[in-house]
Amino acid sequence: MKNIFASCFLLLIISLNAQTHRFTYELQLKMDSTDTEYQKFNMILDISSKEVKFYGRNLMIADSLNKKFGNMDNKHVDMTGQIVKRKINTSDHENFINIKFGYYSFKTTDKINWNMVNETKQTGNYTLQKATATFGGRSWIAWFNKDIPFNEGPFKFRGLPGLIFELYDTKKNFIYNLISSRTLPDIYPTDDFVESNFGTKAVPVTEKQKQKLMLEFYNDPFSFERTNFSKNNSNLNININGKEIHNLDELNTQTRSMQEVIRKYNNPIEIDKAIHYKN
């Protein structure tokens, strides 16, 4: 572990009354399970006296820029599917997700049953203990430290007697490594980029409704553009990803290409909830 933790983990002697404890993890993930390369994201775990939140650092940066310059021009769409918040010491989650132009929230209960392993390793000055679990259709290995007084970790992984430093599934599709920590004097506001997505407030839905919305998007990802075509308007041009679309045949080609992309990158962390898209 890098020397950066030497000062960061003075949490051991800091009062737990501090408003927000922030832990940053590097997440390496494979958007397509057959990929050999990883996409990398910095993810933030904020722990306050009442709530725990997990979200991408890029969301926070975009929000900070908006507040600095007094606008909402900087926006960021989460690509990890891992924006969650929960009440402290519970496994009841509110999940947040972008689906095309909409932003939605849905609730789940995600208790993880850990198996403690009598195996430890030394990382810098910290002794980490191993634990295993099955969650979301994947087998997981966690390395946690009992001396850090939080039973939390990245995404929905919590419940161990100490903070998770390292976490990965056995097929190495998702790898988390703790890289930094700091204590903030106040509860950090996330209303504009977690509970809302830069002006778009999350619409509550059920998990079943969320699945239905994702299927509808897959079946016709350019439904909005399609409605703008008129048989009597041969001069209408629509731009999709920098390409001008002049007729329905060209739009259908783009639709099939987008559907292929959706099928290819269908590797969510909770693989047991993955949608089985038809080719």
Q: Which of 68-72, 199-203, 208-212 has the lowest mean pLDDT?
A: 68-72
Give the mean pLDDT of 31-37.
95
Helix/strand/coil percentages in the chain, nearest 5: 20, 35, 40
Grade residue 43 by pLDDT with cuts at 50, 70 and 90: very high
Residue type (1 letter), 269 = I
**In angstroms, rounded to a whole number, what is the distance separating the alpha carbons of residues 46 and 120?**
26
Per-residue pLDDT, 17: 60
Per-residue pLDDT, 3: 46
Q: Which domains, and CATH codes, for the chain?
A: 5-197 (2.50.20), 206-273 (no CATH)
Does the pLDDT value for residue 176 go beyond 90? yes
**In angstroms, rounded to a whole number, what is the distance separating the alpha carbons of residues 172 and 185?**
36
How would DSSP label each residue in 186-202? SPPP-TTTTSEETTEEP
Per-residue pLDDT reduced to its tens digit, 221-236: 998 888 877 555 555 6
Per-residue pLDDT reduced to its tens digit, 64-87: 999 888 887 788 899 999 999 999
